[in-house]
Amino acid sequence: MTEDWQRIQSRRVLVAAGLAAELPDVPGLKERWGHEVLHWRHTHRWEARDLAIAVVGSFRQALLFRQLTEKLTLILRGADDLSMGQRAQLTGLGVRILEGEIGGLEIDSHGQLAGAHLTSNTQVPAQRLVISPRVMACVDFLNGLGVSIRPHPTEASEQVAVDSSGFTGVSGVWAAGSVSDVLASAPVAAAAGSAAATAINLDLLVCDHTSIAAAPPTTGGFSGAMEAEVTRRVLGPRIHGLETILSRGNGSPTLPADLHKGDQPELPG
């Protein structure tokens, strides 16, 4: 059932609905998500190079984005912490370390992100803001089918549980792409979709052939005798390619001796 209440019937389903991010409740952040508010370093490498970047709450993300710029600030939230070694490593790289929660965004006169301010009123210059939101597989519409959702082993995320072919364990339902692997890049997601499509095709093929094999034999219809008779009526003496042997002296072919009206099976209709 679609959002506009249209019913669609399908023998198999491939779920590739992607992910939804649970963004912090900061005014203006949602509108800049994916442009000036980022998540994954490898997706935005070129656009973010040499800019002032603020990373919220992730040591690993701070290291990754430090490769792109020397103007980096790490903002630690209440639940985040750094070991002494991690803090020393970042300090040695010239990373500014602050603590607090994002209270709002600073926008310049051109409508571009200029920074963020913490709830403590500390100003953080930033042309790009990096956050680590919780991302969830978009599978709410599958509720009731029994599809299993499992946490990702390294990310604060959840995804659909599938086997190597994308099969969810629920009859007729496959999943592929970031909905079943939150870290899947575009090539990996495409490969998963191809594997799932192959598995679905094979599953349908086996199902159809099993149904045919289990069906009772049919009677009547277009029999072998009827097919032979139609061929004879259409091709006449040419049926065996023997025009020369069967032809008379004047070049007119003769009909085979068995092609008499009384010997012909009756055609239906």
Q: What is the bridge-based pairing of β-strands 102-107 and 96-99?
A: unpaired
pLDDT of 173 over the 90 cut: yes
Give backbone dihedrals phi and psi of 104, rounded to 5 degrees, phi first: 180, 175
Question: pLDDT band at 139, cuts 50/70/90?
Answer: confident
Mean pLDDT of the chain: 82
pLDDT of 85 over the 60 cut: yes
CATH superfamily of 136-214: FAD/NAD(P)-binding domain (3.50.50.60)
More confident residue, 234 or 260: 234
Question: pLDDT band at 127, cuts 50/70/90?
Answer: very high
Instruction: Indicate if 136-214 has the same CATH topology as 24-132.
Output: yes
Give the C-alpha separation, 222 to 230, whole Å. Answer: 10
**Of 5-14, 135-144, 254-263, the least confident:** 254-263
Give backbone dihedrals phi and psi of 196, rounded to 5 degrees, phi first: -65, -40
pLDDT of 253 over the 90 cut: no
pLDDT in the model for residue 69: 92
**Of 57-66, 144-153, 257-266, the least confident:** 257-266
What lies within 8 Å, CB to CB, of 123 at 6+ separation is 106, 115, 116, 117
Domains of the chain, residue spans: 24-132, 136-214, 226-260
% of the chain residues with pLDDT over 70: 79
Give the C-alpha separation, 233 to 227, whole Å. Answer: 10
Cα dihedral 221, 227, 228, 230 sign: positive
Mean pLDDT (whole number) for 132-161: 81
Question: pLDDT band at 240, cuts 50/70/90?
Answer: low
% of the chain residues with pLDDT over 90: 36
pLDDT of 246 over the 60 cut: no
Q: What is the bridge-based pairing of β-strands 149-151 and 157-160?
A: antiparallel
pLDDT in the model for residue 35: 87
Range 24-132 has CATH code 3.10.450.50: no
